[in-house]
Amino acid sequence: MRMSSLPVTALSAILFFAVQPFSSQAQDVALTPPMGWNSWNYFAEKVDDPGVRAAADQIVASGMKDAGYIYVNIDDTWEGQRDSNGVLHTNAKFPDMKALADYVHSKGLKIGIYSSPGPKTCAGYEGSLGHEEQDAQLYAAWGIDYLKYDLCSFIPEVMEKQAPNDPPAQMRLMHAAYTKMWKALKATGRPIVFSLCQYGWDAVWEWAPSVGGNLWRTTGDIQPNMYSIYANMSLQAGLASYASPGHWNDPDMLEVGNGELTPAENRAHFSMWAMLAAPLLAGNDLTHMKPEIRDILTNRDVIAIDQDKLGKQGSRAYVDGEVEVWTRNLSGGALAVAVLNTGDTRYSTHPFHLYLSRFGLHGPQKARDLWTGKEMELSEGMALELSSHDVLLLRIAVPK
């Protein structure tokens, strides 16, 4: 039958199915920033099957699942060797990946995995170069729901070898490598969140959606200290227009509960990631999580900012010395405001004055403090006391 003789409805159905599998993946997953847990920030190379099961158990037991944390993501160091057919096997730490995925799914959670477009991962394990389709099929057969694809050895082994001293050509090779894995994932027919990890090279936010990225790291690796957290946060200023449902800037996984972060720093880190519509991937040891850390990670009001369905990332509204004010437009016309004391030695003895007019509000405003739950009235120039590295996170339901 010639296409022109098909009834319109049949023609649209054919077009729908022809076009849909190719174009829909980015829209169907990660409509809000992915929430879950990732093994790297705390466990690094010590991640193993029992540890991942324990994390899944704790996500449920701690209330994190009910608060929206769904992905249990295995980072680097699960990979073993390829057999003579090129099929990748897990190493001894992960005896049966399919059984592990089934276990995570049985908890109502989803499971993520990690690879590199290069021959090796960052930790020197087997990468996907030359085996993209085979690996994507393997992930789908295991029931994987999320892939973090980390550039690593692709830089020296492919970009620098194939295009020495030619950065634009190197970047084209990088784009092609991400496109290749995207196509391989799509060909599996399984919805798999595609997370690009190439540290923000070549203004990744401008092209990541065109290679299937649902989220993309915009920075180098985060560390559990306020300088690193602040550096990664600052690099998001100016990127708000690149975020939208299905497509997120990723300032890296959470360090809440790690290192020596103070309660104020943990709150500030979590608040700012919510303002940035950042993925909320907890990176701490959930089995030994203190109640105060669980309370931060499960604050529903803060999570609601992050997960707001409009998907509009916040922006830095103004800076006054060591105090920064960020705002984020929310659905229903609401506004989130974060006031962050970035100073190391600026104590609550020295108040900061909040100028609502600098982000377009006029006259007194009713707001809710999302960490105390208290209602407040904001006024132009009001004094705010914030201790070093602390944050005031507000929701203004009806901004005037």
Q: Which residues are catalytic?
A: 150, 221
Instruction: Determine which helix (DSSP H) or strand (DSSP E) holds 264, and give its type and residue range.
Output: helix 263-275
Min dist CB 7 to ligand GAL, Å, is 51
Element (H, E) at 64: helix 64-67
Rounded to whole angstroms, the Cα distance separating 237 from 241 reads 10
| CA distances, 313 to each of 27, 56, 242 (Å) | 17, 29, 8
- Single out the residue of 122, 144, 261, 303 in contact with ligand GAL (rule: CB under 6 A): 122
Is 126 one of the binding residues for ligand GAL (CB under 6 A)? Answer: no
* Phi, psi (rounded to 5 degrees) for 65: -60, -45
Q: Is 5 helix (H, G, I), strand (E, B) or coil?
A: helix
* Residue 199 vs residues 121, 172, 195, 250: alpha-carbon distances, Å: 14, 16, 12, 9
* Calculated CA dihedral for residues 121, 27, 134, 110, nearest 10 degrees: 70
Task: Give the number of residues written for the chain.
Answer: 400
Between residues 121 and 228, which has the closer beta carbon with respect to ligand GAL? 121
Is the CB of 123 or the CB of 310 nearer to ligand GAL? 123
Q: Is 193 in the site for ligand GAL (CB under 6 A)?
A: no
CB of 190 to ligand GAL, least distance (A): 22
The answer to the question of residue 123 lying near ligand GAL (CB under 6 A) is: yes
> Does 157 participate in binding ligand GAL (rule CB under 6 A)?
no
Q: Applying CB under 6 A, does 75 fall inside the site for ligand GAL?
A: yes
As a whole number of angstroms, the distance between CA 137 and CA 188 comes to 6
Q: Which two tokens stand for residue 41?
A: 């920030």
Q: With contacts defined by CB under 6 A, how many residues of the chain interact with ligand GAL?
A: 10
Q: Are 267 and 340 in contact (CB under 8 A)?
A: no
Residue (170 or 218) nearer to ligand GAL, CB: 218
Q: Which member of 133, 157, 202, 221 binds ligand GAL (CB under 6 A)?
A: 221
Residue nearest to ligand GAL (CB): 122
DSSP state at residue 46: G
Q: Please say whether the beta carbons of 267 and 49 come within 8 A.
A: no
The answer to whether residue 145 forms part of the interface with ligand GAL (CB under 6 A) is no
Q: Does 40 bind ligand GAL (CB under 6 A)?
A: yes
CB of 253 to ligand GAL, least distance (A): 7
Span near ligand GAL by CB under 6 A; candidates 119-127, 135-143, 293-301, 359-367: 119-127
Q: How near is the Cβ of 218 to ligand GAL at its closest, in Å? A: 12
Min separation Cβ 115 and ligand GAL, Å: 10
201-220 residues in contact with ligand GAL (CB under 6 A) are: none
Residue closer to ligand GAL by CB (options 200, 314) is 200
DSSP letters, 326-337, are EEEE-GGG-EEE
Which parts of this chain interact with ligand GAL (CB under 6 A)?
Answer: 40, 75-76, 121-123, 150, 152, 197, 221
